[in-house]
Structure 1
Amino acid sequence: MAIQGLGLGIGSGLDINSIVKALVNAESAPKTAQLNRLERSTTSTFSGLGQFRSALSEFQSTLKDLNNPALFEKRTASSGKADVFTVKADVTANAGNYSVQVFNLAQTSKVALRGVASPTAEIGTGNLTVSAGDKTLNVNVSAANNSLTGIRDAINAAGKSSGISATIVNDPSGDGGARLVLGSSDFGTGKDISVSSTSSSGDLSVLDFSPPPTTDFAAPAADPANPLEPRVISYARDAKVAIDGITISSASNEIKDAIQGVTVTLKKAQTAEDLTAASSINLNVGEDRAGVRSTVTNFVDAYNKLTSTIDSLTKVTPVGGDDGQPLAAALVGDASVRSFLSSMRNELSTPASGDGAFKILADLGISTQRDGSLAVDDTRLTAALNNNFDQLGGFLTGADGLMARLEGRVKPYAGAGGILESRTSALQNTLSSVDDQREQQVRRMDKLEARLFSQFNAMDALVAQLSGTSDYLVGALDNLPGVVRQDRR
């Protein structure tokens, strides 16, 4: 019998392994070639549809950005001096120009209490009351915390929720001693810090403080003759500004709705020179035309990217030489692509209904080129934005707007359960079928190989048997009486 791997049959001398392998390969080759062609074609189409779907998804996002009425309601706001104030506006703001003067910013209260010998010197026990506007902080001063250090810590522990805090400032020269400095986080006139006390022992009244009245809110300079006296570091006060000559006070440096929909954030007050006649700073509120222009050009870029992707997926590249076969891209002649492009071009050329200034994209300065791409005429686009901005939103957005109509053309292809998803699912099934057929082919060829080896081995055994019988008969005949062998003559 034949021994697989040694090559030659024992009885026949034939290379059975090679013969069987050749027969199996010959049987397998047509089906293998068919499956390879089907797999290559299906994989190429699957990849091409994936690229097409990805490009559609990106284009769809741009359509949604432009099909947003809020885009056309946005407002821009600018300050003539951003170091004095900044400004922002929401959709409720009306376009316009305003004159602003900033006389002073809103301030918080900060005071330095009377100086004492040192931060650890004992002052006294009792109750300390710290007030800032409508906020009051009661601090119990006991023998354990009857120094500036202890009182500072007690105020900070109790004042976390009220915004009142304390620090200690030391005068290294010793002339000013150690001072408890109190601060409040609340802005606005009438929120100055005051301190009162009730002593149980010692004299907590050295920390009592009532801010002196003021008309200009300027902190008084320290008195060199009385360095230990308490003093105001800053008064709490409202911000004061004038908008178009109308004076406005605000407890905050962020002024909202003095102009509807506009928030002004004060950064610093103008100097005396700034506040002379005609020193007002311009505040401008306008439509966000730059944002709309950017979104429109993004739409054009996305459309051109989509058509470029489609072109690369459907082109045929000639190969040199008379016998050269042209190279066809993955989706050459694909019906889905042709149908999509046709529907998009039809929609772009369909005029909008109504009597508005915009009927087609060309009215916006966007034209179709010979290769199917779109081009923007900046001059015409600028004129459209400047002259008919109020009508642009109606042309592009809404149920009947151009973007919604284009979205309606894209959705059947790119949407869940759409044409492309169905096709890619079918192609996945085809690839799975190819894998199944390859497995069946392997099993069939294994059975064929086993059958052929069995048949050839049986033939080889029969040849070996016949060869033995032949040798026996030849020997027997040679030994018969009267038989003369030819080689013995």
Structure 2
Amino acid sequence: MATITSAGAGSGLDLESVISSSVAAKKTQLQQPITTKRTNTQITLSGIGQLKSAISSYVSTLQAMSKDGAFNKRSVAVTQDKDNPVLKVETKSGASNGQYNITVNKLATTSKFEGTFNNSTDSLVTEDGTLTFKAGDKTFSVDVKAGDSLQSIRKRINNDGDNFGLTANILTTSDGKAKLVMDSGVSGTGNDLQISGSTTGLTSFASSLSKTQSAGSAEISVDGNTLTSATNTFDDTIVGLKVTVLRTSDKDTDGSAKSNKVDITTDKAGIKDMIKSFVDGYNSLVSKSTALGKRNTVTAGKSQDDGGALAGDSVTRAVTNLMSGTITEPSKNSSTFSTIFQLGVKMDNKGVLSIDDEKLTDAIDKNFDQVVAIFGGENGVAGKLADQLDDYSKTGGLLAQRENSLNDDLRELSRKESDATTQLTKYEESLRARYGSLDTLLSKLKQSSSYLSLLNTSSS
């Protein structure tokens, strides 16, 4: 498109500047509302994302607290050498307070086999076949090829994808012989390793291996009762406890095994920590919601733009109202306490929670089960609050729907911006056509005026 300038025989007017100014003004008129709307939408979208993330984090904490047995925390004390412990005891859901005298009589053992050969590199196999290994209900087979050496067989065993944990190693003895040592990896009485071959040669190979250790079960004595396990772990053999034996018990002077005292008590400090995490998470979410929803302050009639990303958005108030409403609702789980505020939890006029440690300690000491009842389980305060907040943060939830709507708005704004660009191009074209005609007309008028001036001068 031709540029209109003040130079040449035209009108002498700077029409290019006029057009540029007009186009700039039109651009501002068309695009400023779009830019403002996009900025505000992006800020809101960011705020919704921050709120959703904060809620999701707290929901995870609440869901963990509402699981069965989450508040059934127990403290374990074992009388034993701390530098060389005999056993490890962990509590599980359903554990109860109690005392036990535990003696470790035997550790679980795996079965082991050995075989001595002239060397590890000479061929041991004359024809293709299969070696099969079985221990208890576990089994796997290895294909062996003609010409395989002891090293090759060892590698095939250890690298087999179906191997259930059997290991094969080669030792070189003082006389230069190669010793194959195999450990089944499977413990428990009756789970001895069995090796068989599909050919005469492989059967002979299997027969040449001798058992050096039998598979056996671990054995402990609990208050005089003998318990066994195929492994060194006794899981729920004592209900609610997981006992892992590490070595056999020490002996006293007459050779009798010494028992180790295990004391299971209520972990009151653990319960208080969980309640503290409930309160801290609550306050963190309230603080985040308040900051996001803070309105801009106005000074001398001018906004200071110091508000949150969701300034004035009702969703932040809805979240905080939901939270306060849920924790103040009377509980049906406890026969002693109707709300958590009777346990020592307090709320100030800004909705922030705190804990009266002395009152909470007293409630736990005197009514432990009722404290657990009001907080724990699906219908406890933690579970109910998790369900309510999850409606906001879950996939497809209320905040996800807001995000989808805002992203739709951004796509619509991009379409409008494209339309505005097209409209602006047409507007500039119309101006150039209009001012181009005006420039031509003014140029002709100027020429006519000059001609008339010349005629008047000649007449004079």
Structures share fold, TM-score greater than 0.5:
yes
SS of 1:264 mapped into structure 2: strand
Which residue of structure 2 aligns with residue 62 of structure 1? Answer: 61
2:303 alignment partner, one of 319, 322, 325: 325
SS of 2:103 mapped into structure 1: strand
Cα deviation, residue 84, structure 1: 1.3
Map 1:28-47 to 2 at 5 A.
Answer: 28-47=27-46
* Segment drifting more, 262-271 vs 296-305: 262-271
Cα deviation, residue 306, structure 1: 0.9
> C-alpha distance in 1, partners of 2:179/2:396?
73
| CA contact 1:112–1:179 (8 Å) conserved in 2 | no
AA of the residue aligned to 1:99: N
Query: How large is the RMSD of aligned CA atoms in angstroms?
Result: 4.7
| CA contact 1:187–1:237 (8 Å) conserved in 2 | yes
The runs of 5 or more residues in structure 1 that have no matched partner are 121-132, 135-143, 194-203, 211-231
Which residue of structure 1 aligns with residue 87 of structure 2? Answer: 85
Higher radius of gyration, 1 or 2: 1
Which residue of structure 1 aligns with residue 124 of structure 2? Answer: none
SS of 2:88 mapped into structure 1: strand
Count, aligned residues = 415
SS of 1:100 mapped into structure 2: strand
Which residue of structure 2 aligns with residue 16 of structure 1? Answer: 15
User: So what's the TM-score if we normalise by structure 2?
Assistant: 0.71
> C-alpha distance in 2, partners of 1:375/1:361?
11
AA of the residue aligned to 2:303: Q
| CA contact 1:169–1:181 (8 Å) conserved in 2 | no
| CA contact 2:86–2:248 (8 Å) conserved in 1 | yes
Cα deviation, residue 434, structure 1: 2.7
2:261 alignment partner, one of 279, 282, 286: 282
| CA contact 2:251–2:257 (8 Å) conserved in 1 | no
AA of the residue aligned to 2:100: Y
Cα deviation, residue 311, structure 1: 1.8
AA of the residue aligned to 2:339: I
> C-alpha distance in 2, partners of 1:55/1:422?
17
> C-alpha distance in 1, partners of 2:242/2:254?
22
Map 1:158-177 to 2 at 5 A.
Answer: 170-171=173-174
Which residue of structure 2 aligns with residue 95 of structure 1? Answer: 97
Which residue of structure 1 aligns with residue 199 of structure 2? Answer: none
| CA contact 1:106–1:236 (8 Å) conserved in 2 | yes
Q: Does 1:356 align with 2:356?
A: no
Which residue of structure 2 aligns with residue 138 of structure 1? Answer: none
Which residue of structure 1 aligns with residue 320 of structure 2? Answer: 341
- Residue 350 to residue 276, structure 1, CA distance change in 2 (3 Å): farther
* Segment drifting more, 308-317 vs 469-478: 469-478
> C-alpha distance in 2, partners of 1:168/1:341?
69
Which residue of structure 2 aligns with residue 4 of structure 1? Answer: 3
Kindly provide the CA deviation profile for residues 88-125 of structure 1, in whole angstroms up to 9, marking residues without a partner as x: 34435443111123345455677999x99x889xxxxx
| CA contact 1:7–1:18 (8 Å) conserved in 2 | no
| CA contact 2:114–2:209 (8 Å) conserved in 1 | no
Which residue of structure 2 aligns with residue 371 of structure 1? Answer: 350
- Residue 465 to residue 285, structure 1, CA distance change in 2 (3 Å): same
| CA contact 1:111–1:233 (8 Å) conserved in 2 | yes
Which residue of structure 2 aligns with residue 140 of structure 1? Answer: none
| CA contact 2:250–2:257 (8 Å) conserved in 1 | no
| CA contact 2:393–2:400 (8 Å) conserved in 1 | yes
Kindly provide the CA deviation profile for residues 133-181 of structure 1, in whole angstroms up to 9, marking residues without a partner as x: 99xxxxxxxxx99xxx98xx89x98xx9997979767456xxxx97979
AA of the residue aligned to 2:86: V
AA of the residue aligned to 2:309: A
| CA contact 2:70–2:93 (8 Å) conserved in 1 | no
AA of the residue aligned to 2:57: E
> C-alpha distance in 1, partners of 2:402/2:32?
24
| CA contact 1:237–1:251 (8 Å) conserved in 2 | yes
Which residue of structure 1 aligns with residue 248 of structure 2? Answer: 269
Kindly provide the CA deviation profile for residues 223-262 of structure 1, in whole angstroms up to 9, marking residues without a partner as x: xxxxxxxxx9878876554322345566654445553454
SS of 2:221 mapped into structure 1: strand
- Residue 68 to residue 20, structure 1, CA distance change in 2 (3 Å): same
Which residue of structure 1 aligns with residue 278 of structure 2? Answer: 299
Cα deviation, residue 63, structure 1: 2.2
| CA contact 1:110–1:181 (8 Å) conserved in 2 | no
Cα deviation, residue 414, structure 1: 3.2
> C-alpha distance in 2, partners of 1:416/1:457?
59
> C-alpha distance in 1, partners of 2:415/2:178?
89
AA of the residue aligned to 1:325: S
Which residue of structure 1 aligns with residue 442 of structure 2? Answer: 463
| CA contact 1:166–1:181 (8 Å) conserved in 2 | yes
> C-alpha distance in 1, partners of 2:416/2:165?
78
Which residue of structure 2 aligns with residue 437 of structure 1? Answer: 416
AA of the residue aligned to 2:262: L
Cα deviation, residue 338, structure 1: 2.0
SS of 1:70 mapped into structure 2: coil
SS of 2:247 mapped into structure 1: coil
AA of the residue aligned to 2:101: S
- Residue 427 to residue 354, structure 1, CA distance change in 2 (3 Å): closer
The runs of 5 or more residues in structure 2 that have no matched partner are 121-134, 137-145, 158-162, 194-203
SS of 1:87 mapped into structure 2: strand
2:426 alignment partner, one of 431, 438, 447: 447
Kindly provide the CA deviation profile for residues 376-410 of structure 1, in whole angstroms up to 9, marking residues without a partner as x: 33444444444433334432345543234323532
